[in-house]
Amino acid sequence: MKSTALTLSPTISALTKDDPLLAHIAELQQSISRRAFELFKLSGFTGGHDLEDWLKAESEMLQPVPLEVTETDDEVTVRAEVPGFTEKDVQVKVDAHRVVISGKREESSEKKKGKTIYAEHRSNEICREFDLPAEIDPENVTAELKDGVLEINLAKRVPSKRVAVSGKAA
């Protein structure tokens, strides 16, 4: 893979069943679940807002990672928005049927003069796991990060074959 000042490659590795990342994802899901329940409790146990509570809790802990997934006969391409993250902050893990994008960035704290009167929390962690539309070859994956967009190219294990359909009845 080529690296330039603008296009850099994050770490890519295989996702195994005993990968510590999977344990981390389970911990994140438990934390989000606890926070969503706290939000439910704060609303006076008002039902009907489960999804809203979950999404709010998730947004407090993780930065969202919008995706675009495209598929050709030979490969699946995933584009993920990860603004503010560098190739050193991001890792991509794959198996034949799924991709996990994770990362954590270090934020430097600067001394500010004056009194802070308002501040919003900004998550410094991403974690996005998703199933692929086709089986891929985990050994044939490339990724590049450029201008806050991570592009992952995943070669299909068995490329799709186009079948010509005849208009004649048999």
Domain boundaries, the chain: 11-16+63-156
Q: What angle do CA 66, 16, 29 make, to 5 degrees?
A: 50
Give the CA count within 13 Å in the CB-facing half-sphere of 99.
Answer: 31
Tens digits of per-residue pLDDT, 6-54? 456 788 889 888 999 999 999 999 999 999 999 999 989 888 989 999 9
Q: What is the pLDDT of residue 89?
A: 93
**Mean pLDDT over the full length of the chain:** 85
Among 8-12, 47-51, 85-89, 134-138, the least confident range:
8-12
For residue 124, count other CB atoms closer than 10 A to its CB: 15
CB contact set of 98 (below 8 Å; sequence gap of 6+): 15, 129, 130, 131, 132
Fold type of domain 11-16+63-156:
Immunoglobulin-like (2.60.40)
